[in-house]
Structure 1
């Protein structure tokens, strides 16, 4: 059909208006406050991760940002709440792997990894194994020797079955065939309090999250074959300590990340890009954020969304295998 000049002009004007409206709609995000949903209670390391960046994101986003804590069921309650939220980019999950791996491993109906579009992994915190000073142990070898001579007498405080420290510690105990009494606590704070009071002899957690009990602890090792933990410069590698026994155990840590629903990335790529750029700008260029994060001991890593997604997928696969091996006995 051939258009008249008037019709063509009307068509062109309409197309331009639609394009302009579409562009305006894309630029209007965000048009209201954004929520960082933390799937744990206030005060823990995941909460600290969210609160470290929350005051500074408005500078990059132009809207208020709030933190909402939804604890319970080892992080599952908050994950369920996140999955029920509108998939519009206004709710950002703050969580950590491998706890997310444990949640979906034990309850596959909650979510799958494909439901998440990772914005960034801001704080990678290697897991550390600590002994109470009063035990008299000065090395991992001391603890192993005592545990073998006293089966069932060594106590390990667990902050939750899905927490990285307990997962890796259980894998090590199983590999060494040690009979260790696991004492469960509701969260890392309770486990650290019990450790500091001498109620338990061992605990394991993210190294950065365990600094509050540093004065009460002897470091037995890091579940990391490379690098050190800033607050624990003398911590040896657990696998280096176990090499003489011809034994090795999995390594890992707490990978604290931000994510939105994958539907946001797929259906609103402009919104996802806006969020990614806001986090990148804040982490890389906002000195006030860097100063605040350093003061609170929170990591300030920036990988970019693609690398962060690949990291969380690799961590998820690694810890799924650890959990499956444990379940298989």
Structure 2
């Protein structure tokens, strides 16, 4: 049974008036937008974001198109659009879809996520978020407490009682962790943390991939990576390309630009600082590279809010 709403759901969007960011393990997240659609017929056409967009259906039903796949949405489902993935939502006409939605960035902090001295609870959270980012899950109904969290967020931002901003930060952290939990079941997480068996080449590629994610903002050479896996530079490059389907430097460039695309959504962060943060001290080179890979300059990309309608 749906829990009673103490304040109008539309006040959920007042969260847009707050600058909210949270740290989860060795990840940083900035909340970019909050929204609400009444349960009536509507459709948002095929588009992409450079951030995560998550929706929770509190009423009705509809369709969620991701790429060429169509998924049925029912009340109580959470559905997730990851950065760069084309998607659209179509409400049913007979039982219109009502949703909450929120967008956010999720990027590694500038520290070693895999540091040996990291607290155990941080390592567990890092494993969850890393697995979530790679998870193919699009729709989940494992959302037992999510509706109440959304209602509490609405109540806190509407009431603005003493200490409300601290409570909202905690609720935001819970919402992001619950989203990851909904998309990653325990069996999947266990396999990610303790793989039963891996081929030697896959193990090498995984070590390299993790090193790149943990050190993407630093100057990285093939020699550095070869030292991590105790192989020659040539063999290291060959193994990674065989397993991942692209060269090490191509993977690193994509990783850096994906993170840059999320950072650019912060209107107060200069493009030069974004470039430096993802490992490009030469801002002109960064702009040229970004335009070549993304089809627009960082400034134009930022102007459009990281959203591209297809």
Category of TM-score, reference length = shorter chain: under 0.3
Instruction: Judging by fraction of residues, say which structure has more helix.
Output: 1
Give the number of the structure whose alpha-carbon radius of gyration is greater: 1
TM-score of the superposed pair, with normalisation by structure 1: 0.25
TM-score of the superposed pair, with normalisation by structure 2: 0.26
Bigger RCO of structures 1 and 2 (CA < 8 A, at least 6 apart): 1
